[in-house]
Amino acid sequence: MLIVCISDTHNQRIDPPEGDILIHAGDATNEGTSEELKEFFDWFCSLPHKTKIFVAGNHDVLFEKDPETAKSFISDSTIYLQDTSVKINGIKIYGSPWQPVFFDWAFCLPRGKKLAEKWELIPDDVEILVTHCPPYGILDEVYKNGGTSHEGCEELRKRVEVLSRKRLKLHVFGHIHSGYGITKAFGVEFVNACICDEENIAKQKPIVIEI
């Protein structure tokens, strides 16, 4: 199965390559308004990939403020995951929008216990995990003031390490534009699929993974 991974498109339209499943790991918009989300889903839901999965990001505010309206823009061709899972061709995929507090945006929780509770909801038999936020220390580096810092979630990292000893094969996320890329750790493939770079220009390419 070919999994096409994108994230952080921020109102920009791209032409993702062919594949069986198209995953968008959040930040489809800039402000998360009805207008932006409607336009996004008009585009995303019409893409030719047989299965399309969407998880909200901190910019997709309407999904937290008024989820019923936000979800009304999604057609049957796309599966929205919010602390829920779906099985595609026998593969369990789970999606979640949460992240450590990041200015005053959507789906933010303080670091520590509150986030750990969200990650505990991830089922033990998950094979593909989609979160908006990266796990701490994996494709989550931000460059500022001449140094680097890691912005990912420590609690997510702990949960992912546990899940790696079970069935987890692939973890797709975005959020930290400068962390774009692929890496492998403890037997899991990690993809930071941010399409936008640090200047919010859609320069980074979709990442395709074969499972």
Residues making contact with Zn ion (CB under 5 A): 8, 27
Nearer to Zn ion, 185 or 202 (CB): 202
Question: Least Å distance between CB 170 and Zn ion?
Answer: 20
Question: Least Å distance between CB 198 and Zn ion?
Answer: 10
Question: Least Å distance between CB 161 and Zn ion?
Answer: 25
Contacts of 39 (CB under 8 A, 6+ apart): 11
Name the nearest CA neighbour of 34 among 77, 79, 67, 83: 67
Q: Which residues pair with 40 in a beta bridge?
A: none
Nearer to Zn ion, 126 or 153 (CB): 153
Nearer to Zn ion, 7 or 51 (CB): 7
Question: Least Å distance between CB 166 and Zn ion?
Answer: 29
Nearer to Zn ion, 8 or 189 (CB): 8
Question: Least Å distance between CB 211 and Zn ion?
Answer: 25
Alpha-carbon Rg for the chain, nearest whole angstrom, is 16
Nearer to Zn ion, 171 or 175 (CB): 175
SS3 201: coil
Distance between CA atoms of residues 24 and 31, nearest Å: 17
**CB–CB of 165/158 below 8 Å?**
no
Nearer to Zn ion, 70 or 126 (CB): 70
Distance between CA atoms of residues 165 and 183, nearest Å: 17
Distance between CA atoms of residues 69 and 134, nearest Å: 27
Helices marked H in 53-201 — which ranges? 62-65, 67-72, 113-120, 154-164
Question: Least Å distance between CB 175 and Zn ion?
Answer: 6
